[in-house]
Amino acid sequence: MRLRKDALQVATHIMQEVVAIAGRSEEGRGTVGRVQVYPNSRNVVPGEVTFSIDMRNLSDALVDEMDRQLREFIGKIERESGLAVALKEVSHYPAAPFHAECQAAIAAAAQRLGYPAREIVSGAGHDAVYMSYLAPHRHDFYPLQGRHQP
């Protein structure tokens, strides 16, 4: 087994590290998706694995730190496994914090009406992100029974 150059085993270590890195920051998010294994046969050692990584956080500096940690880990696993890992940045979106006054207005309105309110971070690319580049904006989440909620 030690002589095998199993790309899938290396990929799984990287995938686990993506989640671990995200977990080191309170608002960090790390998601692995679109996994493709080649040759994808049940009795052939995988020679290549491609997958996507999505890392998000409150600020660009925090995302940059997550990226640095991942690259450091990948360098280590390349040395240990003898396999090369190629990273390709497909897209990069800067953090888009919403307008503080808009957020405060919603929190105050909820409080006046007797509803709890809390700030959360959404890493999803909602339309509100793009609107925030044009004008003061915010995005609200409302908890619903049995539905997707924070």
Report the distance separating Cα 147 and Cα 101, nearest Å.
Answer: 28
The backbone torsions φ and ψ at residue 17, rounded to the nearest 5 degrees and listed phi first, read -70, -35
Query: pLDDT at position 124, please?
Result: 65
Q: In the block, which residue shows the tokens 């993506």? A: 18
pLDDT along the chain (150 residues), means of 10: 84 99 94 96 95 93 97 98 96 80 86 84 68 74 62
CB atoms within 10 A of CB 55: 21
- Residue 52's φ and ψ, nearest 5 degrees, are -100, 150
Q: Which one-letter amino acid corresponds to residue 26?
A: E
Question: Which pLDDT score, from 0 to 100, does residue 132 have?
Answer: 73
pLDDT score of 10: 97
**8 A C-beta contact, residue 22 and residue 66:** yes
DSSP H/E element including 146: none
**Element counts in the chain: helices (H) and strands (E):** 4, 2
Residue 19: the pLDDT is 98
Please tell me the pTM assigned to this model: 0.78
> If you search the block for the tokens 């890493």, which residue do you land on?
123
CATH number for the domain running over 7-81: 3.30.70.360
For residue 125, what pLDDT is reported? 63
Enumerate the domain spans of the chain.
Answer: 7-81, 96-150
> What one-letter code names the amino acid at 13?
H
Three-class DSSP category at 120 = coil
* The pLDDT value given to residue 119: 75
pLDDT given at position 91: 87
49, burial (CB in 10 Å: exposed 0-12, middle 13-18, buried 19+) = buried
Residue 105 tokens, joined: 């207005």
